[in-house]
Amino acid sequence: MQQVQVSVFDHSGFSEVHSFPTGMGLSLMEALKAAGYPIEAICGGLALCASCRLDWLEGSVSEPNDAELDMLDTLPDNQSCSRLACQIRLESLYDGRASIRLNPSKS
Ligand code: FES
């Protein structure tokens, strides 16, 4: 089983690096929740709540789908780096690594 490395920054600038397994069909949201991050994921990963929103800082990844773009468009502080963690499969981290910032609206 392969792994991806994700550097996770919080709103205070603190960061941790995590290794998550690919090949299990996990989303980044599911992996982050399993690692103990307080992501609400109110809609359960259906791109309907934006509680899993993050800033994508670095790393090649799949483009957002229509459902993700539609949800992000409803956010007043949506930015070009905004993503929904529930819509990103770990397998879609093409470089095998990424940097993200959680809770961007709180920074
Ligand atoms: S968990 Fe609701 S949009 Fe991602």
Report domain extents, the chain: 3-106
Cα-based angle 58, 63, 66 (whole degrees, multiple of 5): 140
Structure confidence by residue, pLDDT tens digits, 74-91: 999 999 999 999 999 999
Find, among 106, 11, 14, 104, the residue nearest to 85 by Cα.
104
Find, among 43, 33, 23, the residue nearest to 93 by Cα.
23
* pLDDT for residue 106 is more than 60: no
Q: Which two tokens stand for residue 19?
A: 């290794």
Cβ atoms of residues 2 and 21 within 8 Å: yes
From the alpha carbon of 45, which atom of ligand 1 is closest?
1
Q: Report the pocket of ligand 1 as residue ranges, CB < 6 Å.
A: 29, 41-43, 45, 47-52, 71, 84, 86
Enter the pTM of the model.
0.93
**Does domain 3-106 correspond to CATH entry 3.10.20.30?**
yes
Residue 95: Cβ within 10 Å count: 11
* pLDDT for residue 65 is more than 60: yes
